[in-house]
């Protein structure tokens, strides 16, 4: 499946790269709306894109970055879709754009925005405290099957982390108490302090603690191991982390796309323009450094390929939401 | 004209009115919380627990304030809350301020602040039109430079800016 | 431990002409954003971020931290002169700073504020320098129950029985809590109390409320009395500044207590705003001149300012060493670190000691520069006060609303600011205390989150607040402080029963 999306994505890139010099060009400041607070994954993503665009002068119009992370990011989505035809409001998010409205009355509709591109897929890992008795995912799951269960901390409620927790429970029968924190960073510190048994953070959220041997990864929710690279700690690098599937949690892949949106009524030319700019952002060495440093999977989707991906991702999540009775209406 | 120090509202009326309003807010909060569970589940309090009891406490404390006011009514009735001259001063200040907000919501902050500053300077400070305009337009430009140009924080803009293509 | 040697190396890097120039630029920009309400240190720092993309990380962090110090100082200026807190953490400074200014002691208030802030900041850096290893260990011990206990402690130290009706205090506080619950609930993901209004999903920012309650509310009150700011004729003479500076050592108890409170809150991290409130509360409680508080008591300026800056500086340490931002501004800086290619965490001290220690060294220099520069800008602000009221009054109104709008760029916030202005005016006139409401708005949702996270962890058992010595101690301390006024009142009542005083 991944291969298919990649091919579609590459095709789409080629098409859009061709039409990058399309009719529409911004002639006033463009707002980059970040649907998260400063310092989080989405913020770093948006600001990295901004810094690359500025450095390589990929856009003539100036960029204004606005953090609107209130209400789990809904503040940004509401703002981003508030003027339905405005091509000057570019919203940065994750899959929360189309998943949040399913689980709570957030005040915005997923149809209010059109997808422009997805630029990276962030991975999810199962992390434990370094002093944890569980050496691998199997023994961790076995411990969680005991009546008292284990505590998993994560970022926000009914978002990616809790959905994955629920998927693990459904797949293995393990019992977890999910404890929501404000951000993945908080969950990382709570795990380093030994206050929770595990978290499901993205690589970049736990990197600092892993380097210092305060936490360690048990497995990665991906079809294959990560690409070989430098060691992170004395004896382990990213590629040494087994996939969760090979270590006994039958979930083959769980990823979160980093997405970019425009208001639904914005002209197609504008969407094509931004997709073209972003495609060029992706070809810079700075982007490669960003992907490597945050250990994300490089992937670029736009157009129909992206719509296809979104529908699939939504359908998968909806199964979990329905099983957990989280859906609204 | 009437006596400027005539009492329009006594402290008693004000106390009772405010306590009634806060009690009403408490009721709204309590009702709003009912949408979610207000009990204590096995994972601790449910989402509606805190708002529910906060609403209840607001109502109870407002009730107590009301009782206090009634107990002290003799004294409170004799204490003025708002005199005529005070009301006039407040209105003279609050009226334009509220007008500014209405204008800002419709036409954006820049237009509203130019109109508001010019008007208040001319009416209350008795400045000439050109001086008032110079100050108000000057401050609008200062705001524009500080917020939009230096710090890249957009302020609320209206149809006029769109027409003039000021971004 | 050769922290001292490292620090000297840090000074060697930080004290270069280029870096000092960056510090001065950062501080000046910081003062500007600090003075404007709504445009706070987090805004300022995130707006400067793009500039730093092409800079060396050391120069970049110096620019951002200097801006932070400038903003913290600038925030106090407007608190004292106009009763509009330029920064959330300077709300508590308005309580006594503004009355002092109104009595014609603006110079004293400003000088005291800046000097005690500088003292707090330096104390904070010394703590960071000396205890960096130990402090990071300590911060890791904090989980949700400890957070809840700390917030409770803040509340307990601040909310005492004033001389107004206790019911009015409760109404004011619970209304604040109610406002804090509006929006998305972190624990359940439900959207609460928005009554179907999309703009309410993000909640009501306490900054908007504070701008209305303090700034506009105060203006309305001033107008009603026909006072027109006559009290404030701030002529800043160097001699007056110098004379006030000499009085600073007299406040040494408050300075020390507040610096400790600030460091503790910066590290744990309760944040500078909570620190300033707690410190103000404690200063009032332990003061022999309790009645003077709220009417222009110098200790009431020294306490929040010292704690605010001590917390602000100390918050940098957990950010660098653990990746826990102790304040909103530290969170933005952490984002910057990641963009520059640095990973905050314990390894940063080992991998990039040059970066860490020149940052710390720059904090010493930056704060000294900030005190000097901010004192130099005072005459400028004093000049503003000499502008006729028919210009400056409406101008303050405009600044308030622009500030309210920039908090999150929402039109609805203009109306809220207006509404809170009326509320502030009414509450003040009817002797409802406003500070508990603001504190409840600031801490309400954090407190609720921490409480419910603790309950989830402990499967609904309240015993979690006594589950280890750390949380047990904080909880006990909080409960003691909470009950102390009641106990002391009962004792006093028992002693003075013959006097027949009614409470």
Asked if the structure places residue C25 within a domain, the reply is yes
Which of C148-152, C317-321, C415-419 has the least mean pLDDT? C317-321
Query: Which residues numbered 447-476 in C keep a CB inside 8 Å of some CB on A?
Result: 449, 453, 456-457, 459
Tokens of B164: 């003039």
Question: Residue C81: inside a domain, yes or no?
Answer: yes
Chain A contact present for C195, CB below 8 A: no
Instruction: Answer yes or no: is pLDDT of C227 > 70.
Output: no
| pLDDT tens track for C229-261 | 544 555 567 788 888 889 999 999 999 999 999
Q: Which of B98-102, C186-190, C415-419 has the lowest mean pLDDT?
A: C186-190
Residue A89 to residue C337: CA distance in whole angstroms: 27
Sheet containing strand A89-93, strands side by side: A63-67, A30-34, A89-93, A255-263, A113-123, A297-302
pLDDT at C454 > cutoff 90: yes
Asked if C311 and C327 touch (Cβ cutoff 8 Å), the reply is yes
Residue A40 pLDDT greater than 90, yes or no: no
- Neighbour tally for A266: CB within 10 Å: 23
Q: How far apart are CA A275 and CA A282, in angstroms?
A: 10
Each residue's pLDDT tens digit, C158-172: 776 556 788 998 999
The rounded distance, in Å, linking the Cα atoms of C320 and B5 is 62
Gap between the Cα atoms of A65 and A47, Å rounded: 8
Separation of alpha carbons A206 and A215, rounded Å = 8
Provide, rounded to the nearest whole percent, the portion of chain C with pLDDT above 90.
Answer: 40
Percent of chain B residues topping a pLDDT of 70: 99
Please count the other Cβ atoms lying within 10 Å of the Cβ belonging to residue B112: 24
Query: Of A229-233, B143-147, C56-60, C326-330, which range is least confident?
Result: C326-330
Task: Please determine, for residue A17, whether its predicted confidence score (pLDDT) is greater than 50.
Answer: no
Distance CA C103, CA C295 (A): 9
pLDDT above 70 coverage of chain C, percent: 94
Contact B167 A64 (CB under 8 A): no
Per-residue model confidence (pLDDT) at position B4: 79
Residue C122 or C206, more confident: C122
Helix axes B84-107, B109-124, angle to 10 degrees: 150
Mark which residues 45-84 of A lie under 8 Å from C by CB: 47-48, 50-51, 54-55, 65-68, 70-72, 74-75, 78-79
What pLDDT, on a 0 to 100 scale, did the predictor assign at position C328? 73
Using alpha carbons only, give the angle C303, C442, C26 rounded to the nearest 5 degrees: 65
Q: What is the distance between the alpha carbons of residues C383 and B134, in angstroms, rounded to a whole number?
A: 19
pLDDT (0 to 100) of residue C460: 87
3-class DSSP state of A286: helix
DSSP C361-415: HHHHHHHHHHHHHHHHHHHHHHHHHTS-HHHHHHHHHHHHHHHHHHHHT-THHHH
C56 in a structural domain:
yes
How many Cβ atoms sit within 10 Å of the Cβ of residue A186? 21
C496 inside domain: no
pLDDT for residue A18: 45
> pLDDT for A46-89, tens place per residue?
989 998 998 899 999 889 888 888 888 999 999 999 889 999 99
C455 and B154: CB-CB below 8 Å?
no
Q: Please give the Cα distance from C266 to C260 (Å, whole number).
A: 10
pTM of the model: 0.88
The total number of residues shown for chain A amounts to: 329
| Contact between B69 and B12 (Cβ < 8 Å) | yes
- Helix (H) or strand (E) segment spanning residue A113: strand A113-123
Instruction: Decide: helix, strand or coil at residue C287.
Output: coil
Q: Is the pLDDT of residue B83 over 70?
A: yes
Q: How many CA atoms lie within 13 A of C404 on its CB side?
A: 32
Q: Using CB atoms and an 8 Å cut-off, which of residues 306-365 of chain C contact chain A? A: 322-325, 328, 331-335, 338-339, 341, 343-348
| pLDDT number for residue A29 | 87
Helix (H, G, I), strand (E, B) or coil at A298: strand
- pLDDT bin (cut points 50, 70, 90) of residue C500 is very low
pLDDT at residue C305 above 60? yes
- CB contacts of A65 in chain B (<8 Å) are 152
Residue C495 lies in a domain: no
Mean pLDDT across the stretch C315-338? 79
Interatomic CA distance for residues A82 and A101, integer angstroms: 16
Percent of chain A clearing pLDDT 70 (strictly above): 93
Output the CA–CA distances (angstroms, integers) from residue C472 to C137, C147, C461, C475, in the order listed: 19, 12, 14, 5
Q: Which residue has the higher pLDDT, C199 or C175?
A: C175
Judging contacts by C-beta atoms under 8 Å, the chain B residues touching residue C429 are 14, 81
Q: Alpha carbon of C163 to those of A190, A319, C169, C225, C502: distances in Å?
A: 42, 58, 10, 23, 12
Among B30-39, B88-97, C31-40, C209-218, name the one with the lowest average pLDDT.
C31-40
Say what the pLDDT of residue C497 is.
59
Model confidence at A4: pLDDT above 60: no
- Number of domains observed in the structure of chain C: 1
Token look-up 């302020």 returns B155
* Overall average pLDDT of the A93-121 stretch: 93
Partner C contacted by B29 (CB < 8 A)? yes
C498 lies in a domain? no
Residue C192, pLDDT above cutoff 80: yes
Domain containing residue C166 = 3-490
Task: Give the residue-averaged pLDDT of C436-447.
Answer: 88
Neighbours of A126 (CB within 10 A): 25
Q: How many CB atoms lie within 10 A of CB A173?
A: 10
The answer to the question of residue C503 being in a domain is: no
DSSP helix/strand/coil, B7:
strand
Q: What share of chain B is helix, strand, coil (3-state, %, to 5)?
A: 70, 10, 20
- Pairwise CA distance, residues C301 & C98, whole Å: 9
User: Does residue C389 belong to any structural domain of this protein?
Assistant: yes
Domains and CATH numbers, chain A: 2-122+255-324 (3.40.190.150), 125-240 (3.40.190.10)
Tell me what the mean pLDDT of segment A157-164 comes to: 93
**Is A92 in a helix, a strand, or coil?**
strand
Under a CB-based contact definition with an 8 Å cutoff, are residues A34 and A69 in contact?
yes
The reported pLDDT for the residue numbered C59 is 92
Average pLDDT of chain C to the nearest whole number: 86
pLDDT, tens digit (0-9, with 9 covering 90-100), for B28-64: 999 999 988 898 887 789 999 999 999 999 999 999 9
Query: In the prediction, which pLDDT does A19 show?
Result: 46
Extended beta strands in C53-212, E state: 183-184, 191-192
CB-based contact, C207 to chain A, within 8 Å: no
Instruction: Verify whether the Cβ–Cβ distance B11 to C409 is below 8 Å.
Output: no
pLDDT confidence of C137, banded at 50, 70, 90?
Answer: confident
- With vertex at residue C394, the alpha carbon angle to CA C390 and CA C398, rounded to the nearest 5 degrees, is 160
**pLDDT for residue C160:** 62
C246: tokens are 């000499």
Tell me the C-alpha distance between C449 and C184, whole Å.
Answer: 11
Strand duo A89-93 + A215-220: pairing? unpaired
> Over chain A, what is the mean pLDDT?
89
B54: number of Cβ within 10 Å: 27
Q: H helices of C181-298, where?
A: 206-210, 217-225, 238-247, 252-267, 272-285
The label of the residue with tokens 């209130």 reads A70
Note the pLDDT tens digit of each residue in C28-64: 999 888 887 767 787 778 777 777 777 888 999 999 9
Neighbouring chains of A at 3+ CB pairs under 8 Å are B, C
């Amino acid at each position: 499946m991944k291969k298919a999306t990649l091919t579609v994505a590459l095709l789409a890139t080629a098409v859009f790269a061709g039409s990058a010099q399309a009719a529409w060009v911004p002639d006033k400041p463009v707002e980059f709306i970040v649907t998260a607070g400063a310092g989080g994954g989405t913020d770093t993503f948006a600001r990295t894109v901004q810094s690359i665009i500025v450095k390589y002068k990929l856009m003539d119009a100036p960029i204004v970055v606005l953090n609107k992370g209130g209400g789990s990011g809904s503040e940004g989505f509401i703002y981003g879709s508030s003027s339905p035809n405005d091509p000057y409001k570019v919203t940065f998010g994750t899959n929360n754009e189309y998943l949040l409205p399913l689980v709570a009355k957030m005040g915005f509709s997923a149809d209010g925005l059109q997808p422009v591109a997805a630029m990276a897929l962030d991975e999810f890992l199962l992390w434990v405290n370094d002093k944890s008795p569980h050496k691998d995912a199997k023994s961790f799951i076995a411990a969680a099957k005991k009546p008292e269960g284990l505590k998993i901390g994560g970022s926000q409620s009914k978002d990616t982390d809790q959905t994955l927790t629920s998927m693990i429970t459904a797949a293995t029968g393990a019992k977890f108490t999910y404890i929501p924190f404000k951000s993945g960073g908080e969950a990382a510190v709570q795990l380093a302090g030994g206050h929770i048994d595990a978290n499901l953070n993205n690589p970049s959220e736990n990197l600092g603690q892993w380097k210092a041997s305060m936490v360690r990864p048990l497995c990665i929710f991906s079809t294959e191991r990560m690409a070989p690279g430098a060691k992170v700690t004395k004896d382990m690098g990213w590629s040494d982390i087994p996939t969760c599937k090979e270590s006994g949690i039958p979930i083959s892949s769980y990823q979160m796309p980093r997405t970019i949106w425009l208001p639904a009524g914005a002209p197609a030319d504008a969407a094509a323009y931004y997709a073209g700019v972003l495609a060029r952002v992706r070809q810079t060495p700075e982007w490669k450094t960003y992907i490597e440093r945050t250990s994300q999977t490089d992937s670029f989707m736009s157009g129909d390929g992206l719509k296809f991906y979104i529908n699939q991702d939504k359908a998968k999540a909806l199964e979990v939401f329905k099983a957990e009775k989280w859906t609204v209406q | 004209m009437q006596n400027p120090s005539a009492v329009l509202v006594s402290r008693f009326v004000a106390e009772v009115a405010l306590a009634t309003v806060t009690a009403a807010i408490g009721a709204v909060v309590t009702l709003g919380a009912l949408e979610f569970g207000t009990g204590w589940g096995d994972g601790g309090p449910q989402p509606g627990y805190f708002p529910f009891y906060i609403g209840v406490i607001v109502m109870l404390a407002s009730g107590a304030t009301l009782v206090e006011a009634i107990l002290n009514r003799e004294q409170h009735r004799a204490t003025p809350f708002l005199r005529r001259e005070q009301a006039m001063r407040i209105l003279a200040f609050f009226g334009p301020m509220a007008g500014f907000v209405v204008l800002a919501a419709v036409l954006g902050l820049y237009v509203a602040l130019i109109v508001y500053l010019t008007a208040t300077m001319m009416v209350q400070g008795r400045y000439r039109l050109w001086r008032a305009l110079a100050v108000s337009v000057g401050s609008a430009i200062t705001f524009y430079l500080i917020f939009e140009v230096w710090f890249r924080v957009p302020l609320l803009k209206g149809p006029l800016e769109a027409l003039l293509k000021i971004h | 431990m050769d922290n001292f040697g490292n620090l000297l190396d840090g000074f060697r890097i930080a004290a270069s002409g280029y870096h000092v120039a960056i510090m001065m630029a950062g501080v000046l920009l910081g003062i500007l954003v600090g003075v404007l309400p709504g445009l706070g240190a987090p805004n300022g720092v995130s707006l400067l971020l793009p500039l730093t993309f092409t800079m060396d990380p050391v120069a970049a962090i110096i620019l951002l931290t200097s801006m932070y110090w400038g903003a913290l100082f600038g925030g106090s200026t407007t608190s004292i002169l106009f009763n509009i807190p330029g920064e959330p953490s300077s709300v508590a400074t308005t309580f006594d700073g503004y009355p002092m200014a109104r009595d014609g002691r603006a110079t004293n208030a400003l000088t005291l504020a800046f000097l005690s802030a500088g003292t707090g900041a330096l104390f904070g850096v010394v703590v960071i320098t000396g205890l960096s290893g130990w402090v990071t260990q300590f911060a890791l011990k904090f989980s949700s129950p400890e957070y809840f206990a700390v917030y409770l402690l803040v509340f307990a130290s601040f909310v005492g029985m004033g001389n107004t009706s206790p019911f009015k205090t409760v109404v004011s506080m619970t209304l604040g809590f109610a406002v804090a619950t509006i929006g998305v609930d972190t624990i359940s993901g439900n959207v609460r109390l928005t009554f179907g209004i999309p703009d309410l999903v993000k909640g009501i920012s306490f900054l908007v409320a504070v701008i209305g309650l303090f700034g506009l509310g105060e203006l309305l009150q001033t107008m009603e009395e026909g006072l027109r700011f006559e009290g404030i004729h701030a002529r800043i003479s160097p001699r007056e500044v110098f004379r006030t500076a000499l009085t600073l050592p007299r406040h040494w108890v408050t300075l020390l207590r507040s610096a400790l409170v600030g460091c503790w809150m910066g590290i744990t991290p309760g944040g500078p705003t909570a620190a300033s409130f707690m410190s103000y509360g404690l200063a009032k409680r332990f003061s022999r001149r309790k009645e003077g508080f709220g009417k222009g008591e110098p200790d009431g300026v020294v306490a929040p300012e010292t704690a605010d800056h001590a917390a602000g500086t100390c918050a940098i340490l957990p950010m660098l060493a653990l990746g826990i931002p102790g304040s909103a501004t530290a969170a933005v800086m952490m984002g910057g670190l990641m963009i520059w290619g640095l990973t905050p965490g314990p390894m940063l001290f080992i991998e990039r000691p040059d970066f860490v220690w020149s940052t710390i060294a720059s904090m010493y220099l930056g704060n000294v520069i900030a005190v000097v520069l901010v004192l130099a800008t005072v005459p400028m602000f004093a000049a503003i006060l000499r502008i006729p009221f028919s210009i400056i009054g409406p101008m303050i109104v405009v600044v308030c609303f622009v500030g309210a709008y920039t908090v999150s760029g929402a039109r609805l916030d203009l109306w809220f600011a207006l509404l809170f202005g009326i509320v502030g005016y009414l509450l003040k006139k009817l002797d409802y205390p406003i500070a508990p409401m603001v504190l409840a708005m600031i801490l309400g949702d954090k407190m609720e989150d921490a409480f419910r996270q603790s309950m989830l962890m402990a499967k609904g058992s309240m015993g979690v607040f006594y589950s280890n010595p750390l949380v047990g101690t904080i909880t006990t301390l909080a409960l003691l402080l909470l009950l102390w006024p009641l106990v002391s009142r009962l004792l006093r009542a028992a002693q003075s029963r013959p006097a027949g005083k009614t409470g």
